[in-house]
Amino acid sequence: MKLPAAREALPSGRTCGECAHCSSSSGIRFETGRDLPVKKSKNSLHLIGFGLGLLLLPWLAGHVELLGHYMDVMVFVGIYSILTISLCLLMGYAGQISLGHASFFGIGAYVSGVMTTRYGVNPWLCIPIGMGVCAIVAFVVGAPSLKLRGHYLAMATLAFCIIVTIVFNENVELTGGPDGLAFIPGLSVMGHPLDSIAKYYYLVWGFVLVTLLLSLNIIRSRIGRAMRSIHGSELAASTMGVNVSKYKIVVFVYSAALASVGGSLYAHYLNFLSPASFDLFVSIKLLIMIILGGMHSLWGAVVGAVLITFLNYEWLHYFEEAEGMIYGLIILVIMIFLPGGLVSIPGKVRSLWAK
């Protein structure tokens, strides 16, 4: 086959993308099935390197005093990473706006807290129970709400977040109300309590790695392709045979169940819960995390969780009165100069270098 003739046979301005001639002349590289093993191996290498780094961090913290101070913060980074990964799937990949993600975080936390303190249920059993409760609530809320789009969907999830916060505050007998729920038992493994920061660190980040692995597999699967098509255009996806309503509910329920896991880990680490930990401002902070790191990347969700959690727990103590202004400035700068988030910087650098 003559390459120039093959190009001319295609509509104007388009190339086949399969041959070297078209790829070099158009500057566009289309993804084919042969690219998938390469992407999979890259993600596997990233996960292995990420896991080794996490494994070595406590050892380094034992030898470097400055790092030892931050180990407690890293536990919270892990918990928020689970939340941002789940929110990234919902917003970055499926394109469904949610301002109520902290509510599922809170439901998971309070299910664990209430069932262990009030009814004496094993803490490990409370984690899947919390996931089940969140999945049911997400289905009940999502079935009608996900028929909405854009700002209307955002307002619906915002209303849900406000309602859940009111329930946490007013249901004093179960949740403790504004005073909070105390004396939540910690987790233990085969009778050995996870009574140190290092032990809980390994547990939390083990959950993060499993969450990352599952989510990376999902976005490479048929469900992931359906999610991206829905994000691009619901009408076009429906025309191509994608069951839009089904996949929107599936990703909403899955993201809620993951948020519940983060809530349970949070409850058994702090041993205390307060409704203020799951209000609308927490949902907005989760949104800021994925915007900062990169809404369309699971790795970006983790990067955003690291930076905003450190900012919140360590670096904003000197600017408490200006906290809202600083978060607003972060969103403004990222949306104007880096709409793809911090994870888009290497790609931009490579593009500039190529020029």
DSSP labels, 266-302 = HHHHHSEE-GGGGSHHHHHHHHHHHHHH-TT-HHHHH
Reported as a single tens digit per residue, the pLDDT across 211-249 is 999 999 999 999 999 999 999 999 999 999 999 999 999
Measured CA distances, 226 to 43, 95, 176, 256 (Å): 20, 11, 42, 19
Each residue's pLDDT tens digit, 50-80: 889 999 998 888 888 777 788 999 999 999 9
Q: Which two tokens stand for residue 54?
A: 């996490």
Helix H or strand E segment including 100: none
Say which range, 35-44, 51-60, 94-103, 297-306, has the weakest mean pLDDT: 35-44
For each of the domains in the chain, give its residue range(s) and CATH number, in order of start. Answer: 37-354 (1.10.3470)
DSSP designation for 220: T
In 3D space, the residue among 354, 129, 94 whose CA is nearest the CA of residue 225 turns out to be 94
When pLDDT is averaged across residues 334-355 and rounded to a whole number, the result is 89
pLDDT for 25 equals: 37
Instruction: Report whether 227 contacts 94 (CB < 8 A).
Output: yes
Taking only the tens place, the pLDDT of each residue in 9-21 is 334 443 443 343 3
What's the rounded Cα separation, in Å, for the pair 324 and 48?
Answer: 37
Answer with the residue of higher pLDDT: 131 or 354: 131
* Statement: residue 299 has pLDDT above 60: yes
CA distance 43 to 218: 13
Tokens of 71: 């180990």
pLDDT at 34: 42
- Tracing tokens 């593009």 back to the chain, one arrives at 351
Query: Is residue 323 scored above 90 in pLDDT?
Result: no
